[in-house]
Amino acid sequence: MPQSISKIHRHLVFSTKGRERVIADEIRPVLHEYMGGILRKKDCKPIEINTEPDHAHVLFCLGRTVTVAEVVGKLKQGSTLWLREQGPRCHMFRWQAGYGVFAVSHSNVDAAREYIRNQREHHRKVTFQDEFRAFLRKHDEEWDERYVWD
């Protein structure tokens, strides 16, 4: 086959350092657009991006020539620099060192989008830590609590 084709959906989840609640509602829409721009520059298609004060969910289609680690590194680095310019509340902003990234089948993209859009409602009942643990269990991933949170 002379043409290379790839369509791999990923749901990326990561929190602020120490789960500090520093992402203000008023900057979230612009932050989401900025993060989408970073993804597009890495030849990834942003599908849904949402943040809460202490974490981010990013649904995207992985570009065929980049690794997940490369995309996550650029996304976190670029958004960190942008957030630090948004005023005194974020001047020392940092994301946690780690992240979780999970496969999403094409048939589940709409459900994942809806889940990400409804984060505010979801977190009225479930903490970020419990949400992340549920992702790990759902994807049959083993983890050590000592190394998941920073």
Domains held by the chain: number: 1
- Give the pLDDT confidence score for residue 17 in this predicted structure: 94
- Give the pLDDT confidence score for residue 128 in this predicted structure: 87
Residue 144 three-state SS: coil
pLDDT digits (tens, 9 = 90+) for 3-31: 888 899 999 999 999 999 999 999 999 99
Quick check: is 1 in a domain?
no
| Domain extent at residue 101 | 8-148
Q: Domain with 67 in it: what CATH number?
A: 3.30.70.1290
pLDDT digits (tens, 9 = 90+) for 83-120: 999 988 888 999 999 999 999 999 999 999 999 999 99
Q: Beta 100-104 vs 8-15: how paired, if at all?
A: antiparallel
Instruction: Please name every residue paired with 54 in a beta bridge, in sequence order, or none if there are none.
Output: none
The helix or strand, by DSSP H or E, that contains position 133, with its residue range, turns out to be: helix 128-138
Quick check: is 62 in a domain?
yes
Neighbours of 36 (CB within 10 A): 19
**Helix, strand, coil percentages in the chain from 3-state DSSP, rounded to 5:** 45, 20, 30
The pTM (predicted TM-score) of the whole model is 0.92
Quick check: is 3 in a domain?
no
- Give the pLDDT confidence score for residue 1 in this predicted structure: 57
Percent of the chain whose predicted confidence (pLDDT) is above 70: 99
